[in-house]
Structure 1
């Protein structure tokens, strides 16, 4: 078992006496080795995303007139809520655009990375029982949490260096070494804050999903406070760590001191997590488990009802997030024509999509992003059977009269129905806000239908995941390629003029681009048939292979 490798190293690292942090250095090396592929993927994706955005801004806003035009467009409540504080608009060059439009979005992604690192190496280790084995050796009580925080710190520092080097390499006017380094360190600062937050939430609940969910909810709250403050009361933004890093005004004023607020918060939350860890048992949480009813409901006695209960929290979280995401995009739909009037590449992309108005074309482009986010959920939901099997929870269930087909089919059904429900929730939020911002009530029904049209593409994504799980479970994580590729070719490809054949490789590339285009039922029916075939093949493969046992 891999975790037993920590024992000898823990003794050597701890010195003559086992202190509270004994074995921390060994656990750090072990965690970095375990996560070398995962962390490399995160860092490269975030750095390349920054590089692509900077290059895109350089191309789209090549002249001062275009930059002034987009600055005027961004000076609206809806646009400021989605981006950042108004002060960036005072000198709106490419660097200021990065700080204004990209920094808040990157803060959410970096926070997500940090939360997952900490919960993976703390609460998840306890939930699977590996932490107890490690702690049975000469490993200090604080070693596991301290090593998780250290790994998160290493990842965030590496990200800062990589992002800074990436920006310096672009040789864009106005982006010097000092400014690029400050921009990179804002990522480190916000990552450390949410790593500390995850250190606290990991002590509260006995489940990794609960700890991650609470931390992600706080990331969402930080974003909402930042958005509210940038639109109205500026004091609200100062309650959010995302607002702190944006108020460095990187590439405009280049203020370093707001990062000290992040570092102080990170130190306090990390110390709080370490202190709280001494007040609970291994495998338990500070919050006592809520006692269930004496008898299970009728739904929990059935495979679908039980699967829905397991997926409920994630589904509700994504539902709320996608509804708000749709509403935010809908709120700027009325200003879409002004936002893109001076951007030739975007106008060409919208013209290629078609539509009777810029608002319809813009909505069709945004709908791809919404569908990709929904695809993230369906991949997570479709991979849940893999997690249940790896943790040894599937084996006792399948030892009863429950068949493999019904057990896996229940999770697949939740993924299919849940993904469709998420699209409708996003379409509803998009339609309500879009109809209000444009004054066109008919747009609500059109956007709801446009969102629903992507359901077959989601079903194909589920089918690919189930196929991999059924026949080659170790490669099931490769299903993440589907939403990532869909975003690259569906959204960025429209702006960067990727060839059509690349878009055709994605199931999302065959969906009619409503409301700009006319509805075509042939690709929808073909995608549905493909999804059915993939799911049936995956079920057949799962019935034939051996179950991973503990």
Structure 2
């Protein structure tokens, strides 16, 4: 019976690996490069005890605990423990993202394009396609485990040990397996790939936010989040392998649940039924209104997701000011007014670091919408629009304009949540002008990223995912440029780097104008390319 259910899974796995080889290669290079590259240089970057002590203070601040995770104060700080404290939770997000995007595309993505129905017409098992997607996920994460585990062995960080090296790699691969399998599950429950991706991303975000709140308030309860299990592993100082077994067991349970759902649904349908719309609608009068209608669920998901994340981060602002209040020297030497000024300066520095999180949320929202042009073209949706007296230019600018507006709305929602959280917990909250300054300055960088995405979709749509990689690189550069001690020219390799001093300093309008001109030029070139390209590309 099992042979009948999973027949031809191996052959389908080979097809998946061949099709996704470049995508997998890019993710492997990025993930392994970040892990092994930083591990090999951490001793050079923090060569003195003074620099190590400064980093320890940073990592144990509420802001960094919220972002990177908690390290017990009793742990002796070595290169290896610093590495695990900085990288594991952060990289867990990337592993989860890469894995869920891979599995949703290999399941619901193929189903939306009609490929599943064609394959099912052949002598393959009912669960073969789903199981092949899971096997591809296993191959991807197993390869990363071997590569990164072996790479960490070679780097030979001070304080590292064999168990810690392989535990670090296993924890990350376990997170990848878990959220990749969650992607398979949402692909069975949702009615199309976009909703499946949004659902899986939402669960990843919930896991991260839950870990953030628990770590800041009471770290002993971080077992409640899968990303907290990564911290509970205690790589290099505790070397607890129990969280790895939790990750694998949870993965197995979710996989069985996904298979059970898959066996009870029709091709092209999801467990969550789609509400039937009206046969006619006064609202659907063109490509823009059609796009608004089809993107409705995603719009609200991104909006509320960004708002909630902003509220969560804003709610820990008072914990940051407690650093000043609890410092005995400052309490003795500084007046209340001076302490408030120092608290504001610390909060502004925190905002300058935190801003990139919301900028990336806005950028991803916009990039996904621009990439949707190619997806809708392959599904034949654009053909329906082009059959009407609607020009390619109008369609292109509809998608790009909608992407820009939605990206800025998501960015604004995150900053709004941050501001409201700041008001709720602070006796003397930060002024609104700083949040407006962040929005005004970084908005142009988001537009540049969207313009780059539009350029790739217009000329080389097969490489459209590179914009996501570039955005991820921008996040790493912006978030860790001070820790990695990156040169100013390296930071400015990404658009965000030209606004990195916000909101501490005023907007540099020369840089703002330059970025805006670049965005306009890229969009003009992209429009010309889209007019000339084939409607459906291979």
TM score, norm. by length of structure 2:
0.85
| CA distance in 2: counterparts of 1:543 and 1:120, whole angstroms | 27
Is residue 230 from structure 1 mapped to residue 230 from structure 2 by the alignment? no
CA positional deviation for 1:405: 2.0
From 17, 31, 34, the counterpart of 2:19? 34
From 415, 424, 446, the counterpart of 2:434? 446
With over 3 angstroms needed to count, the CA separation of the structure-2 counterparts of 1:545 and 1:44, relative to structure 1, is closer
CA positional deviation for 1:145: 0.7
With over 3 angstroms needed to count, the CA separation of the structure-2 counterparts of 1:84 and 1:389, relative to structure 1, is same
Q: SS of the residue aligned with 2:123? A: coil
| CA distance in 2: counterparts of 1:321 and 1:94, whole angstroms | 35
With over 3 angstroms needed to count, the CA separation of the structure-2 counterparts of 1:163 and 1:57, relative to structure 1, is same
| CA distance in 1: counterparts of 2:533 and 2:42, whole angstroms | 50
Q: SS of the residue aligned with 1:418? A: helix
From 528, 537, 543, the counterpart of 2:516? 528
In the alignment, which residue of structure 2 is the partner of 1:304?
288
Is residue 415 from structure 1 mapped to residue 403 from structure 2 by the alignment? yes
| CA distance in 2: counterparts of 1:231 and 1:500, whole angstroms | 31
Is residue 455 from structure 1 mapped to residue 443 from structure 2 by the alignment? yes
- CA shift digits 1:313-360 (9 cap, x unpaired): 444444344445545655359749979x9xxxxxxxxxxxxxx94543
With over 3 angstroms needed to count, the CA separation of the structure-2 counterparts of 1:25 and 1:533, relative to structure 1, is same
Question: What is the 5 A alignment of 1:389-404?
Answer: 389-404=377-392
Whether the aligned pair in 1 keeps the contact of 2:70 and 2:85 (CA below 8 Å) is yes
| CA distance in 1: counterparts of 2:474 and 2:71, whole angstroms | 32
In the alignment, which residue of structure 2 is the partner of 1:102?
87
| CA distance in 1: counterparts of 2:172 and 2:508, whole angstroms | 44
| CA distance in 2: counterparts of 1:445 and 1:64, whole angstroms | 39
- CA shift digits 1:179-233 (9 cap, x unpaired): 1001111112222222332232221122112222222222222223333443446
Whether the aligned pair in 2 keeps the contact of 1:226 and 1:237 (CA below 8 Å) is yes
Larger displacement relative to structure 2 (470-479 or 193-202): 470-479
Whether the aligned pair in 1 keeps the contact of 2:188 and 2:261 (CA below 8 Å) is yes
In the alignment, which residue of structure 2 is the partner of 1:19?
4
Whether the aligned pair in 2 keeps the contact of 1:512 and 1:518 (CA below 8 Å) is no
With over 3 angstroms needed to count, the CA separation of the structure-2 counterparts of 1:549 and 1:364, relative to structure 1, is closer
Whether the aligned pair in 2 keeps the contact of 1:389 and 1:548 (CA below 8 Å) is yes
TM score, norm. by length of structure 1:
0.84
CA positional deviation for 1:522: 3.2
Whether the aligned pair in 2 keeps the contact of 1:337 and 1:358 (CA below 8 Å) is no
Larger displacement relative to structure 2 (358-367 or 242-251): 358-367
In the alignment, which residue of structure 1 is the partner of 2:359?
371
| CA distance in 2: counterparts of 1:204 and 1:106, whole angstroms | 27
CA positional deviation for 1:378: 1.8
CA positional deviation for 1:391: 2.0
In the alignment, which residue of structure 2 is the partner of 1:157?
142
Whether the aligned pair in 1 keeps the contact of 2:186 and 2:196 (CA below 8 Å) is yes
With over 3 angstroms needed to count, the CA separation of the structure-2 counterparts of 1:334 and 1:408, relative to structure 1, is same
| CA distance in 2: counterparts of 1:58 and 1:329, whole angstroms | 31
Q: SS of the residue aligned with 1:202? A: helix
| CA distance in 2: counterparts of 1:329 and 1:49, whole angstroms | 26
Is residue 136 from structure 1 mapped to residue 136 from structure 2 by the alignment? no
In the alignment, which residue of structure 2 is the partner of 1:353?
none
| CA distance in 1: counterparts of 2:107 and 2:248, whole angstroms | 22
Whether the aligned pair in 1 keeps the contact of 2:362 and 2:409 (CA below 8 Å) is no
With over 3 angstroms needed to count, the CA separation of the structure-2 counterparts of 1:516 and 1:238, relative to structure 1, is closer
| CA distance in 2: counterparts of 1:361 and 1:277, whole angstroms | 49
Unaligned runs of 5+ in 1: 1-13, 342-355
CA positional deviation for 1:24: 0.7
CA positional deviation for 1:443: 3.7
In the alignment, which residue of structure 1 is the partner of 2:162?
177
| CA distance in 1: counterparts of 2:201 and 2:95, whole angstroms | 11
User: Over the residues paired in the alignment, what is the CA RMSD in angstroms?
Assistant: 3.4
CA positional deviation for 1:107: 2.0
| CA distance in 1: counterparts of 2:525 and 2:46, whole angstroms | 48
Is residue 515 from structure 1 mapped to residue 497 from structure 2 by the alignment? no
In the alignment, which residue of structure 1 is the partner of 2:259?
274
Whether the aligned pair in 2 keeps the contact of 1:200 and 1:270 (CA below 8 Å) is yes
Whether the aligned pair in 1 keeps the contact of 2:478 and 2:500 (CA below 8 Å) is no
Whether the aligned pair in 2 keeps the contact of 1:333 and 1:362 (CA below 8 Å) is no
CA positional deviation for 1:406: 1.9
With over 3 angstroms needed to count, the CA separation of the structure-2 counterparts of 1:439 and 1:290, relative to structure 1, is same
Q: SS of the residue aligned with 1:548? A: coil
| CA distance in 1: counterparts of 2:244 and 2:495, whole angstroms | 42
Larger displacement relative to structure 2 (326-335 or 312-321): 326-335
| CA distance in 2: counterparts of 1:401 and 1:316, whole angstroms | 31
CA positional deviation for 1:493: 4.7
Unaligned runs of 5+ in 2: 328-343
With over 3 angstroms needed to count, the CA separation of the structure-2 counterparts of 1:51 and 1:18, relative to structure 1, is closer
With over 3 angstroms needed to count, the CA separation of the structure-2 counterparts of 1:293 and 1:239, relative to structure 1, is farther
CA positional deviation for 1:432: 4.3
With over 3 angstroms needed to count, the CA separation of the structure-2 counterparts of 1:310 and 1:55, relative to structure 1, is farther
CA positional deviation for 1:42: 1.2
In the alignment, which residue of structure 2 is the partner of 1:347?
none
With over 3 angstroms needed to count, the CA separation of the structure-2 counterparts of 1:463 and 1:81, relative to structure 1, is closer
